[in-house]
Amino acid sequence: MRLMLFLVPICTTALMVGAGSATSANRQASRGATVVRLATESVTGSRDRTMRERESRAVYATGIAHVHRREYDAAIAALTNALELDPDYADALSARGGAYFQKGDFANAIADATAALKIRPGMFEAFYNRGVAKAELKQFDEAISDYDAAARLAPRLPIIYTNRAIAYQKKGELDAALGDFDTALRLAPGDFRNHFNRGVVYRQLHRYDEAIADLSKAIEMSPTFIETYHQRSHALYEAGKVEEAIADLDRVTLANSNDAHAFEEKGEAREKLGKRDDAIREYRRALAIDGTRVTSRNALARLGAE
């Protein structure tokens, strides 16, 4: 199942201007020229910081625009510039980590999320993004720990539960995965992906009727996502509904005439129904697409049709 990345939105927090004023400097004028000079330098430094912070926010917005256009190298460059202007800009660190993730640079994605959390320990986006990156590296226990933290901070964000469920599924903890998919669906009942994912887990648990129901719901909600038909064909086949499984596989091969695996599965289903000639035709089609498929080659030998 595919992991999803939570992209950090443009920060809308008002810029906090540093303290320090000419008025306080004037009050201290009687203490001498040295004190006045130091106070003036303090005001100047505060204004410089404010200008750098404002410039950093503008560059950050440019970086986020690049992220949304999937221009990840440009996004990383812009966000790096924002951090040079303001090294403690946690949003820029988290966003740059997201861009690194999209490029497949999971180590830098984790490093940026970790750095953001040192600056802002309650930043749920950083926990979430670090969890996604760790899951890509198959560090599922650590990913789950980060998702736990994100869920405590943002308990009504469904994508956290979706991705934690996927991590549990990858670990083989299927009941925990189901629980998280249930939560995600309560929070976002209109997201077909959670029906799809939960259907896959139900199938792994041999709960075929529930798997078929979830996958059928996913198809109803997003009929053009062909992989759902493929997954439902497996559940139907394993539930003994072989003709219905073939109908779903027909949809798969109609959408992708080069899917050797689906043709091979149709061969197995037709062979199970005793339709030898039809099975041979499907196996031969699979081999025509991919001559390395051992299952199809062995099936043809078994059927006396090498």
Alpha carbon distance 48, 42 (integer Å): 10
Contact 66, 78 (CB under 8 A): yes
Q: Is the pLDDT of residue 230 over 80?
A: yes
Count of CB atoms within 10 A of residue 271's CB? Answer: 18
Nearest to 67 by CA among 34, 101, 36: 101
With pLDDT > 90 as the criterion, what percentage of the chain qualifies?
82
Average pLDDT of the residues of the chain: 87
Residue 48: per-residue pLDDT: 73
- In order of start, what are the domains of the chain with their CATH numbers? 49-134 (1.25.40.10)
**Average pLDDT, stretch 123-150?**
96
Q: Is the pLDDT of residue 111 over 50?
A: yes
Cα-based angle 79, 84, 86 (whole degrees, multiple of 5): 90
Alpha carbon distance 101, 72 (integer Å): 9
Residue 46: per-residue pLDDT: 63
Instruction: Give the CA diameter of the chain.
Output: 108
Residue 53: per-residue pLDDT: 87
pLDDT digits (tens, 9 = 90+) for 71-110: 999 999 999 999 999 999 999 999 999 999 999 999 999 9
What the block records as the tokens of 162 is 């979706």
